[in-house]
């Protein structure tokens, strides 16, 4: 048997699953003692090029409340029956499987297809919908950049996708794309909340035979001034309207309402979103759709407003929030949650592209994306490559297909000894009660089904399980527990697909086999899983409590960084930034998550190939180039000497070709990271003493500070001016605690 | 002047007859019953003439006896003398009863006696009304006394009535009470008591029952009479109940209809006397020429009559006197009246940063009435007598007369009307106003598209917008324009000049209206011309195949208000609307047109606007200075009472084109629209009428809004808007000082300047009622009565209003008779000279469609008239109530003068004639059946009357003198009217003639209402009742 390392890696490759424990403690009591719960990170759409989808429907367990999908376990080929490994129901094979035998198995029975994807044909393929919701209260320069990005995006959209445009400022305009001649839009007041029915009525989307219309017979022609079917007025296939829409975007004006001195522009983000949600709700329910919100500032009027229009009242800070001074926070959050829930219920996701120097209210609006699986991208301006490239990357293609999927539902089935406690990730509960729902909730629980409105191949959910088996009813030796993940989604090619992943792990008695269990521990996965729990708690609870909880739970090296990370620490981050960081943390896969927790530091020097170095101030040396990847930032730091050389222009001299190469190496690596990373990290090229160097300095372990510089007495490294404790101090303290607690 | 004509008339000669009957008549019934009867619920005055007749009946009796001595030549001469007579009536008119016998002559002598003391103005009209009626009625087209032969054939009629009478008792209950009252009347007057009590009653009934327009019972006259009646008026059913009975009466002579006061005559006389002259306003209490006369005004310290006209130019000194005479004290103010080119436009005065100089206490503005004292250092306010310091910069020495040396350099010291530049204190939020904006809101529902209106309108706007009103001497108009189309949702248009294409913004949130854009909605036409034209080209196509038939209404006005609010300006909405707004939205209306309510207590509800949304809308509009002009193109009822509410409270106008078809009514509509758009106008106006001590303005009638009792708010005032103000006494007035009125209007010009327009007027005061009567102005009086009656319609049954009107008329006349006229036979109706045609106007007012419920006139039409009249000036009410009837058959092609008008009566028409009739709103061309073919040929290019097509919609412009002349006449008439009139061509005996006939106001109303003559009789009777 290969090492657990290999096993874990192999499993991750094949199924996109990483468990915290790869042997499961066989009783509930033991499981609790292990502190880190049995849990896993699951990447539903993990890219698997070697996995061709099959073109038929999955075979389901016939028990009504089970409906598990046929998988490689426990099949009796002779009797042509299979026993469900979740409910033990014995099911006959359907007639189409009559030729089945050991040598002639359908794909789902082959062990290597523990993850299998079905393409199902149900109903007509529904189109993808992209609804742009664009803030017009922008500086001209920003607006211009945004216009261009939007126009560019039309080329990237699948030609048969439907596209729509809503612009907002003081008012909200829903643009009709079908009309010829005069550009036409429906306008809504930015302050008045409308229910979905009203919105649809006002857009003329209700069925023609609305009450109050006399003359039933000619009813279908009711809206004859608009010759197209009413639903299509606002959402048109890209190929039909791209020129029209390009012009429309080109003519997009800044919000024409004057903004008085000392005022913020009035931004009706709340209403704009509600209309977008309402429009899709009425026209394309349960169809993959993205509402893409581009905003350049905080919502400042109407429901969902985050800050008033007086510039003299600044937007809420953590300080205000802690002091309960954020007037609009609760109301706005509630409002956006309501919207997000509605969108999620209809399978629509909301992306937020917020570009402004100040906060834009992501804290309040984050749920829109978090619940619907939408993206959040935060930048300083639409006129930055960060935004432009990130936005472009949303539409990136792999083998000619979009790296996005829509309207997913994830269902988890567990064998009896297990129950599912909940999940943490970009999803909402579908409130499906079932036998495998645990009473203990971790993350979003109380259900076996979740809706993930938008998925990318890297979208990763954390799932937490509870061992139900009582200590006094041992599981027979060699028994295996099984978990099945059923993900139904709309593929970018508009097909509906079902991906089924079935995993099984052995039970182990914690008392007798503690070493085995120990060795099956997946440190990285556990770290991320626990961190997610931490973030989830941080979102819902007060900050210090979470840290304390975390401290109590477990102590590892990365915890030092996690404690210092923006996911738990709000110091030096605006509420929006925290929301942004957390948003990404709870959806990225394990590798990315680890980077977020503990940034990676590479060192480039003449002394050898690039090497990862400790994230410590002692790594900052004058003759090195450092490349730090924190996921959100990519910092290239030139040591003092290198910087001087560079300034002197050595790299341009033919005799210092190697220096040129040295300078180039981190750039190439950074480009490699930039190429794949979504969202685009902030790219920082700095040097010793540069103001941007703070990004690096704030991350490294402050092993040398102004306090101990002389005591340390070494020449290498750079002192960090901070009062934060260094890892050494932290560890010392921990040791003391560990000893005292055990005593 | 004219009065002689009729003073001389028959009454005198007939008096003797009356004599006999009279005394009895008078003494008999107590006056009260009479009243009761008149006002009595059962018989509303006009409905069927019945009620009226009754009264008349009574009156008659007295006069009946009067022989037809009417055509008395001596009259004129005698009158001439009488002219001077006045006041001293005390001496009694012709010696009491006795005198009457010899009336014909008698009057002269008394008059002469009187003459010395009397002033000329009084006009006594002693008439044997019965005679008059008889004559008036009986006469066919010819004014000459009727031929006896005629009477004979009529006899049958007389006989008929008795039968009717017999039937009458079955008449509906309500009437019965009334019957009682007439009886006494009837009883006594008939000489010899010939008329049995029952007679009156039945007569009345019968009339009612038949609903005949004219049945006024002419008892005594019966014999001769009936015949006459029957003669000219075919429709006249022999309703002469009393007639038969009275036959026994002395033979009657016929009365010349010309003998009753003639409006056309009065107009002609005034034109002859004062037309073409300069009227200098230098004297206090000076009576201006009639509105119909051509004159030039020279402002010499009092406002031109074009701006202000008073019901009387001499106010009674005490409230007791005022009460006694019942002449309303009022003034009709048309603050923006158009000034003819040959008169000086208003001067604009700038008093600098401190703003106009005003009295510290009452805030009256500096005006010629202020008295400078203390060597010019202080001035005493003419209105409140407060003594104010003269600001240093304004100081000026006084001359030996105590007048300021700079009197003639300062308009505010020497003129009656002028303007001040207003300072920021007079502006909203202390910010200078923005220039106003015009928003065109076009209903693009099915009806308007189909009728071709939208296309027509869009086409027209392209040229019309070039002619937006602009400030004097400015190149282009500062008025901005915006466009909205709507059906049950609204479409706003962004027509910013920078755009290549207009942009449409749809707002479907009609429940809570807002404006979707600011920048680009209201634009300068010149700058955005290309985009606007593009838009106007596209609108008809965009909605060409619409099926939407529902509309909203209140939200579009709301949208306008919001737009002005957002743009911080005032302005005007031009709404082109087709149907009753039934779409789900605020202000949704439903059909509440219930004809069953006509002539009931609840009839008033038809005129009342619905409250709620529209009420609030009025307030919003006025607060923002948003005037609403409503152009309606209905095919059925649309609750004009409610829809017209906002326009009429914001100084706007309502135009209605029923069953509009672009080809037929297009020109008329466009003419109206052009005039409306180009009108000089002021916005966001607030007006205050200040008076000198002793009286004050108590009531205001007009297209206005009032938040408190003193400030008149108008979203806009244009050159046609007039409001009528009523004054009441607080205290006694001083004959020496007189009475002053200052009307100050704060408004925003079309160029966006804030200005104050001040009109000052000084009046005389007198403790002599005769002075008051002398300086009455009938046209203004009738304007006052029309407005107060039309306003009362909202709260009272029409019957009551008519009753009040008649009562007040009678009171005014009775008071005159009692206090100012020389004693005369009770049988004589005596009218003050200045009010001699007042009854014909009053009668006409009571016959207006608004006041007469008839199934043939739609509720909306009545409402429209009501609304229009509320904003009318004196000129408009005058011609509305006494239309101008111009004979064309004998026009002098070579002359440039308009042919003289003739009296508005059917008998003036002739089969071989052709007439133009205009009342300021409609213009008829009436063609007699025997109209000369040559004339037809030259006007219509068809050989003869018979060849005229069924539907005649327009008058072709042909190249011949007749045609040119007619067109010239028409355009000359239209020129002086506020509305462009639609030309209706009516052929004699054709169905549409009914419409035309309604306007012959001296005749019996088609839908009820007495003839002029009947009305005089009735009033006379009332007067007599009052006098006893």
- CA separation for the pair B90, A337 (Å, rounded): 94
Spatial distance between the Cα atoms of B747 and B724, rounded to a whole number of angstroms: 19
pLDDT band at A50 (very low <50, low <70, confident <90, very high): confident
User: What confidence score (pLDDT) does residue A147 get?
Assistant: 92
Angstrom distance (rounded) from CA B921 to CA B916: 13
Q: Please give the Cα distance from B455 to B537 (Å, whole number).
A: 8
**Are residues B131 and B255 in contact, defined by beta-carbon separation less than 8 angstroms?**
yes
* pTM check: above 0.90: no
Q: Given pLDDT bands bounded at 50, 70 and 90, which one contains residue B786? A: very high
Q: Say which residue the tokens 């359908």 belong to.
A: A106
Q: Is the distance from CB of A444 to CB of A450 less than 8 angstroms? A: yes
Tokens of A544: 């210090």
Helix (H) or strand (E) holding A563: helix A557-564
CA gyration radius for chain B? 30
Looking at per-residue confidence, does B459 or B239 come out higher? Answer: B459
Please check the confidence at residue A138 and state whether its pLDDT lies above 70.
yes
**Residue pLDDT, tens place only, B774-783:** 999 999 999 9
Among partner residues A222, A223, A257, which is closest to B518 by beta-carbon distance?
Answer: A257
Please, what is the Cα angle at B39 between B35 and B42, to 5 degrees?
A: 120
Range with the lowest mean pLDDT among A96-110, A214-228, A641-655? A214-228
Task: Identify the residue with better confidence: B170 or A682.
Answer: A682
Residue B528 binned pLDDT confidence (cut-offs 50, 70, 90): very high
The position carrying tokens 């990373």 is: A677
pLDDT band at A223 (very low <50, low <70, confident <90, very high): very low
Is the CA virtual torsion B171, B174, B180, B182 positive or negative? negative
At B125 the pLDDT is 46
As a whole number of angstroms, the distance between CA B862 and CA B692 comes to 39
| Cα A469 from Cα A26, distance rounded (Å) | 7
CB B452 within 8 A of CB B661: yes
pLDDT above 60 (res B123): no
Mean pLDDT, chain B, as a whole number? 77
B62 Cβ contact partners less than 8 Å away, ≥ 6 residues apart: B18, B21, B22, B25, B128, B130, B189, B191, B826, B827
Per the CB < 8 A criterion, the answer to whether B451 and B661 are in contact is yes
- Taking contacts as CB-CB distances below 8 angstroms, the residues of chain B near A225 are 542-543, 545-546, 548
Q: What is the 3-state secondary structure (H, E, C) of B446-486?
A: HHHHHCCHHHHHHHHHHHHHHHCCCCCCCCCCCCEEEEEEE
B596's CB contacts (< 8 A; 6+ apart) are none
What distance in Å separates the CA atoms of residue B926 and residue B914, rounded to the nearest whole number? Answer: 6
Position B138 confidence tier, pLDDT thresholds 50, 70, 90: very low
Cβ of B517 and A192 within 8 Å? no
- Does pLDDT of B616 surpass 60? yes
* pLDDT tens profile B421-461: 999 999 988 899 999 999 999 999 999 999 999 999 999 99
Which of A184, A189, A212 is opposite residue B514, by nearest beta carbon?
A: A189
Contact A181 B538 (CB under 8 A): yes
Sort out which chain A residues have CB atoms less than 8 A from B501's CB and list them. 181-183
Is the dihedral angle over the CA atoms B727, B728, B730, B732 positive or is it negative?
A: positive
Rounded to the nearest integer, the mean pLDDT of chain A is: 84
Q: Of B3-12, B563-572, B609-618, where does mean pLDDT reach its minimum?
A: B3-12
Quote the distance between the C-alpha of residue A459 and its chain's center: 6
Single out the residue of A596, A564, A572, A571 nearest to residue A725, CA to CA.
A564
What is the pLDDT confidence band of residue B196, given thresholds at 50, 70 and 90?
very low
pLDDT tens digit string along A3-15?
A: 788 888 888 888 8
Residue B424, preceding bond cis, omega within 30 degrees?
A: no
Whether B894 contacts chain A with CB within 8 A: no
Q: Residue B864: count other Cβ atoms within 10 Å of its Cβ.
A: 22
A530 neighbors A524 (Cβ within 8 angstroms): no
Cβ <8 Å between A256 and B546: no
Residue found under tokens 């604009």: B348
Residues facing residue A488 across a β-bridge: A409, A498
**What one-character DSSP code corresponds to residue B290?**
P
Backbone angle region of B790, left / alpha / beta, with phi > 0 → left and psi within -120 to 50 → alpha: alpha
Q: Provide the β-strand partners of residue A129.
A: A162, A289
Confidence at residue A708, expressed as pLDDT on a 0 to 100 scale: 64
The percent of residues in chain A predicted with pLDDT above 90, rounded, is 24
- What's B158-212 look like in SS3? HHHHHHHHHHHHHCCCCHHHHHHCHHHHHCCCCHHHCCCHHHHHHHHHHHHHHCC
Distance CA B568, CA B748 (A): 13
d(CA B72, CA B44): 36
Contact B505 A194 (CB under 8 A): no
| B169 has a pLDDT exceeding 50 | no
- Output the pLDDT for position A229: 54
Q: Cβ contacts of residue B855 below 8 Å, gap of 6+?
A: B595, B598
Burial category of B27 from C-beta neighbours within 10 Å (exposed 0-12, middle 13-18, buried 19 and up): exposed
Size of the A and B interface in Cβ pairs below 8 Å: 86
Full DSSP string of B559-605? HHHHHHHHHT--EEEEEEE-S---SSSTT-------GGGTTSGGGHH
Q: Does B548 touch chain A (CB under 8 A)?
A: yes
Q: In terms of Cα–Cα distance, which of B679, B759, B758, B760 is closest to B421?
A: B758
pLDDT in tens, A492-509: 888 888 999 988 888 888
Could you tell me what percentage of chain B is helix, strand and coil, using 3-state DSSP and rounding each to the nearest 5? Answer: 40, 15, 40
- pLDDT interval class at B641 (50, 70, 90): very high
Nearest to A225 among B501, B508, B543 (CB): B543
Q: Write the residue in B505, B508, B519 that is nearest to A173 by C-beta.
A: B505
Looking at the complex, does the CB of residue B296 fall below 8 Å from at least one CB of chain A?
no
Q: How far apart are CA B913 and CA B885, in angstroms?
A: 12
Closest CA in chain A for residue B544: A225
Work out the angle at residue B121's Cα, subtended by the Cα atoms of residues B118 and B126, and round it to the nearest 5 degrees.
90
Question: What is the ipTM score, two decimals?
Answer: 0.82
Q: Is B77's pLDDT higher than 80?
A: no
Q: Nearest 5 degrees, angle CA B130-CA B136-CA B137?
A: 90
| Residues of B whose CB is below 8 A from A192 | 509, 512
What's the confidence (pLDDT) of residue A552? 64
Name beta bridge partners: A163. A130, A236
Interface of B with A in 554-613 (CB under 8 A): 583-584
Q: Are A463 and A42 in contact (CB under 8 A)?
A: yes
Give the one of B501, B506, B548 whose C-beta lies nearest to A186's C-beta: B506
pLDDT in tens, A378-426: 999 999 988 998 898 888 887 777 888 888 899 999 888 889 999 999 9
- Supply the DSSP string of B591-655, one letter for each residue: ----GGGTTSGGGHHHHSPP-THHHHHHHHHHHHTEEEEEEE--SS---HHHHTHHHHHTT--EE
> Which pLDDT does position B310 carry in this prediction?
94
Name the CA radius of gyration of chain A, rounded.
28
On the CB side of A271, CA atoms within 13 Å amount to 25
Beta carbons of B183 and B146 less than 8 angstroms apart = no
Q: Decide if pLDDT at B34 tops 50.
A: no
User: Hunting for tokens 């909405």 — which residue is that?
Assistant: B573
Q: Longest Cα pair distance anywhere in chain A, in angstroms?
A: 93
Paired residues of B172 in beta bridges: none
CA A102 to chain centroid: 41
The two three-digit tokens of residue A712, written as one number? 């340390």
d(CA B969, CA B388): 55
Residue B27 pLDDT > 50: no
Dump pLDDT digits (tens) for B86-105. 333 333 343 334 333 333 33
Q: Which of B508, B517, B547 faces A222 most closely, judged by CB atoms?
A: B547
Q: Which chain B residues are closer than 8 Å to A271 by Cβ?
A: none
Minimal Cα distance from B535: which residue of A?
Answer: A182
Measured between beta carbons, the chain B residues lying within 8 angstroms of A173 are: 505, 516
Report, as an integer, the average pLDDT of B949-975: 86
Percent pLDDT > 70 in chain B is 75
Q: Look at residue A510 in the predicted model and tell me its pLDDT.
A: 74
pLDDT band at B1005 (very low <50, low <70, confident <90, very high): confident
From the list B506, B508, B584, which residue is nearest A184 (CB)? B506
Q: By the CB < 8 Å criterion, does A254 face chain B?
A: no
| Residue B918 clears pLDDT 70, i.e. is over it | yes
Say whether B509 and A192 touch across the interface (CB within 8 A): yes
Chain A residues near residue B493 by CB distance under 8 angstroms: 182
- The answer on pLDDT for B192 being more than 60 is no
Distance from CA of B522 to the nearest CA of A (A): 12
Q: CA–CA separation, A136 vs A296, rounded Å?
A: 8
DSSP code string of B233-255: -TT-----HHHHHHTTSPP----
């Amino acid at each position: 048997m290969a090492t657990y390392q290999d096993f874990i890696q192999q499993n991750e490759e094949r199924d996109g699953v990483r468990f915290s424990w790869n042997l499961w403690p066989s009783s509930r009591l033991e499981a609790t003692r292990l502190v880190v719960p049995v849990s896993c990170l699951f990447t539903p759409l993990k890219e698997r090029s070697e996995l061709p989808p099959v073109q038929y429907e999955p075979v389901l367990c016939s028990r009504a409340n089970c409906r598990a999908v046929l998988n490689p376990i426990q099949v009796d080929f002779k009797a042509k029956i299979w026993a469900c490994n979740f409910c033990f129901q014995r099911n006959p094979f359907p007639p189409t499987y009559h030729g089945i035998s050991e040598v002639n198995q359908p794909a789902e029975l082959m062990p290597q297809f523990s993850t299998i994807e079905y393409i199902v044909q149900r109903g007509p393929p529904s189109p993808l919908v992209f609804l742009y919701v664009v803030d017009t209260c922008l500086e001209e320069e920003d607006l211009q950049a945004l216009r261009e990005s939007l126009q560019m995006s039309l080329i990237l959209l699948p030609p048969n996708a439907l596209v729509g445009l809503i612009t907002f400022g003081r008012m909200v305009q829903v643009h009709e794309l079908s009309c010829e001649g005069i550009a036409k839009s429906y306008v809504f007041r930015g302050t008045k909340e409308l229910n979905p029915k009203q919105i649809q009525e006002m857009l003329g989307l209700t069925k023609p035979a609305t009450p109050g219309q006399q003359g039933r017979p000619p009813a279908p022609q009711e809206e004859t001034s608009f010759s197209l079917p009413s639903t299509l007025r606002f959402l048109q296939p890209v190929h039909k309207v791209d020129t029209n829409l390009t012009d429309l975007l080109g003519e997009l004006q800044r919000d024409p309402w004057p903004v008085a001195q000392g005022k913020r522009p009035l931004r009706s983000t709340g209403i704009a979103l509600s209309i977008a949600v309402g429009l899709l709700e009425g026209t394309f329910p349960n169809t993959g759709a993205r509402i893409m919100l581009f905003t350049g500032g905080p919502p400042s009027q109407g429901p969902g407003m985050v800050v008033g229009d007086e510039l003299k009242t600044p937007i809420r800070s953590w300080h205000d929030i802690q002091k309960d001074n954020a007037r609009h926070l609760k109301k706005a959050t509630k409002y956006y949650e309501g919207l997000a829930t509605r969108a999620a219920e209809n399978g629509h996701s909301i992306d937020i592209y917020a570009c402004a120097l100040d906060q834009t209210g992501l804290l309040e609006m984050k749920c829109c994306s978090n619940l619907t699986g939408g993206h959040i991208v935060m930048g300083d301006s639409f006129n930055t490559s960060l935004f432009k490239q990130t936005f472009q990357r949303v539409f990136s293609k792999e083998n000619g297909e979009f790296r996005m999927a829509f309207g997913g539902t994830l269902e988890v089935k567990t064998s009896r000894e297990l129950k599912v406690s909940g999940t943490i990730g970009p999803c909402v509960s579908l409130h499906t009660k079932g036998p495998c729902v645990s009473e203990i909730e971790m993350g979003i629980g109380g259900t076996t089904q979740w809706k993930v409105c938008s998925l990318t191949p890297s979208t990763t959910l954390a799932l937490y399980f509870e061992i139900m088996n009582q200590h006094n009813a041992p599981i027979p030796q060699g028994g295996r527990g099984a978990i099945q993940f059923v993900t139904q989604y709309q593929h970018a090619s508009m097909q509906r697909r079902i991906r089924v992943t079935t995993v099984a792990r052995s039970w182990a008695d914690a008392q007798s086999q503690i070493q085995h269990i120990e060795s099956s521990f997946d440190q990285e996965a556990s770290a991320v899983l626990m961190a997610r729990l931490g973030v989830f708690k941080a979102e819902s609870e007060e900050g210090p409590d979470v840290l304390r909880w975390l401290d109590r739970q477990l102590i590892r090296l990365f915890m030092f960084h996690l404690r210092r990370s923006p996911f738990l620490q709000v110091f030096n981050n605006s509420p929006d930034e925290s929301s942004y960081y957390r948003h990404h943390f709870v959806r990225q896969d394990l590798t990315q998550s680890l980077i977020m927790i503990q940034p990676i530091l590479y060192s480039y020097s003449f002394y050898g190939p690039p090497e990862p170095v400790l994230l410590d101030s002692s790594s900052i040396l004058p003759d090195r180039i450092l490349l730090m990847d924190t996921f959100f930032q990519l910092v290239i730091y030139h040591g003092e000497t290198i910087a001087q050389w560079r300034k002197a222009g050595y790299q341009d001299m033919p005799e210092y070709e190697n220096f040129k190469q040295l300078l180039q190496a981190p750039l190439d690596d950074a480009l490699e990271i930039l190429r794949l990373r979504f969202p685009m990290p902030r790219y920082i090229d700095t040097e010793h003493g540069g103001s941007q160097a703070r990004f690096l300095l704030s991350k490294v372990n402050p092993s040398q500070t102004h306090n101990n510089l002389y005591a340390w007495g070494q020449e290498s490294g750079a002192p960090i001016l901070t009062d934060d404790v260094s890892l050494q101090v932290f560890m010392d303290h921990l040791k003391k605690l560990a000893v005292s607690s055990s005593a | 002047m004219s009065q002689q004509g009729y003073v001389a008339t028959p009454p005198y000669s007939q008096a003797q007859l009356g004599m006999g009957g009279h005394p009895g008549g008078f003494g008999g019934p107590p006056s009260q019953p009479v009243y009761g009867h008149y006002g009595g619920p059962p018989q509303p005055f006009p409905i069927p003439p019945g009620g009226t007749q009754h009264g008349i009946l009574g009156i008659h009796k007295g006069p009946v006896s009067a022989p037809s001595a009417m055509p008395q030549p001596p009259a004129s001469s005698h009158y001439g003398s009488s002219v001077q007579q006045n006041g001293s009536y005390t001496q009694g008119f012709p010696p009491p009863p006795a005198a009457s016998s010899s009336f014909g002559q008698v009057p002269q002598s008394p008059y002469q006696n009187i003459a010395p003391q009397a002033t000329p103005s009084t006009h006594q009209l002693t008439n044997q009304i019965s005679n008059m009626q008889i004559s008036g009625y009986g006469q066919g087209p010819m004014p000459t006394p009727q031929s006896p032969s005629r009477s004979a054939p009529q006899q049958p009629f007389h006989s008929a009535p008795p039968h009717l009478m017999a039937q009458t008792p079955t008449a509906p209950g309500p009437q019965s009470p009334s019957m009682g009252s007439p009886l006494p009347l009837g009883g006594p007057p008939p000489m010899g008591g010939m008329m049995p009590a029952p007679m009156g009653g039945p007569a009345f009934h019968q009339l009612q029952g038949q609903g005949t327009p004219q049945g006024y019972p002419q008892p005594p006259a019966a014999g001769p009479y009936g015949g006459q009646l029957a003669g000219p008026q075919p429709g006249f059913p022999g309703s002469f109940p009393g007639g038969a009975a009275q036959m026994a009466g002395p033979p009657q002579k016929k009365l010349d209809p010309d003998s009753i006061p003639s409006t056309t005559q009065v107009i002609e006389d005034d034109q002859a006397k004062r037309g073409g002259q300069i009227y200098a306003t230098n004297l206090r209490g000076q009576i201006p020429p009639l509105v119909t006369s051509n004159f030039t005004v020279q402002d010499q310290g009092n406002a031109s009559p074009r701006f202000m006209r008073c019901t009387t130019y001499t106010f009674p000194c005490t409230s007791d006197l005022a009460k006694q005479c019942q002449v309303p004290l009022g003034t009709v103010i048309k603050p923006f009246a158009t000034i003819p080119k040959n008169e000086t436009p208003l001067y604009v005065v700038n008093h600098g940063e401190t703003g106009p100089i005003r009295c510290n206490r009452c805030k009256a503005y500096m005006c010629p009435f202020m008295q400078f004292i203390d060597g010019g250092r202080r001035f005493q306010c003419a209105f409140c007598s407060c003594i104010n310091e003269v600001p240093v910069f304004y100081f000026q020495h006084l001359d030996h007369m105590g007048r300021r040396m700079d009197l003639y350099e300062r308009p505010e010291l020497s003129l009656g009307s002028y303007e001040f530049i207003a300072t920021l204190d007079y502006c909203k939020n202390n910010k200078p106003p923005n220039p106003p904006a015009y928003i065109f809101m076009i209903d693009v529902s099915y009806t308007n598209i189909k009728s071709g209106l939208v296309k027509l309108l869009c086409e027209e706007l392209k040229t019309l917008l070039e002619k937006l009103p602009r400030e004097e001497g400015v190149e282009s108009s500062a008025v901005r324009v915006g466009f909205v189309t709507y059906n049950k949702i609204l479409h706003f248009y962004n027509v910013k000049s920078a755009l290549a294409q207009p942009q449409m913004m749809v707002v479907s949130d009609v429940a809570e209206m807002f404006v979707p854009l600011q920048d680009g909605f209201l634009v300068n036409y010149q700058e955005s011309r290309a985009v606007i034209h593009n838009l106007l080209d596209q609108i008809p196509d965009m909605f060409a195949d619409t099926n939407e038939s529902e509309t909203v209404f209140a939200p579009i006005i709301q949208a306008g208000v919001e737009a002005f609010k957002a743009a911080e300006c005032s302005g005007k909405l031009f709404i082109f609307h087709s149907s009753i707004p039934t779409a789900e939205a605020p202000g949704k209306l439903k059909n509440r047109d219930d004809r069953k309510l006509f002539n009931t207590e609840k009839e008033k509800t038809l005129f009342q606007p619905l409250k709620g949304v529209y009420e609030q809308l009025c307030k919003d509009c006025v607060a923002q200075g948003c005037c609403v002009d409503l152009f309606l193109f209905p095919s059925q009822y649309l609750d004009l009472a409610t829809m017209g509410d906002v326009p009429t409270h914001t100084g706007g106008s309502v135009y209605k084109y029923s069953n509009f078809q672009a080809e037929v009514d297009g020109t008329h509509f466009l003419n109206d629209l052009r005039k409306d758009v180009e009108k000089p106008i002021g916005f966001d106006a607030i007006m205050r009428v200040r008076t000198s001590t002793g009286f004050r303005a108590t009531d205001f009638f007009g297209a206005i809004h009032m938040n408190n009792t003193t400030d008149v708010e108008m979203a806009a005032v244009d050159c046609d808007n007039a409001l009528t103000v009523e004054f009441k006494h607080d205290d006694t007035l001083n004959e020496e000082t007189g009475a002053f009125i200052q009307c100050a209007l704060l408004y925003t010009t079309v160029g966006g300047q804030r200005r104050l327009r001040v009109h000052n007027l000084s009046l005389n005061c007198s403790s002599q009622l005769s002075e008051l009567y002398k300086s009455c102005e009938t046209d203004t009086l009738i304007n006052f009565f029309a407005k107060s009656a039309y306003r009362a319609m909202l709260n009272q049954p029409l019957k009551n209003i008519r009753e009040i009107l008649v009562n007040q008329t009678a009171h005014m006349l009775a008071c005159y008779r009692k206090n100012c006229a020389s004693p005369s036979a009770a049988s004589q109706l005596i009218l003050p000279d200045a009010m001699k045609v007042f009854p014909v106007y009053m009668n006409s007012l009571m016959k207006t469609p608004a006041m007469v419920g008839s199934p043939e006139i739609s509720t909306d039409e009545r409402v429209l008239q009501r609304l229009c009249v509320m904003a009318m000036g004196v000129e408009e009410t005058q011609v509305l109530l006494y239309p101008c009837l111009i004979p064309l058959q004998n026009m002098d092609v070579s002359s440039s003068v308009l042919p003289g008008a003739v009296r508005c009566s059917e008998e003036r028409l002739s089969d071989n004639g052709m007439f133009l009739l205009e009342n300021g709103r409609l213009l008829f061309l009436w063609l007699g059946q025997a109209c000369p073919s040559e004339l037809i040929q030259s006007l219509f290019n068809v050989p003869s009357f018979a060849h005229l097509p069924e539907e005649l919609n327009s008058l072709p412009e042909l190249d011949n003198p007749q045609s040119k002349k007619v067109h010239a006449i028409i355009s000359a008439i239209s020129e002086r009217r506020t509305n462009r009139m639609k030309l209706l061509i009516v052929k004699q005996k054709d169905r549409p003639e009914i419409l035309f006939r309604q306007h012959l106001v001296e005749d019996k109303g088609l839908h009820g209402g007495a003839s002029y003559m009947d009305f005089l009789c009735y009033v006379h009777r009332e007067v007599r009742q009052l006098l006893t």
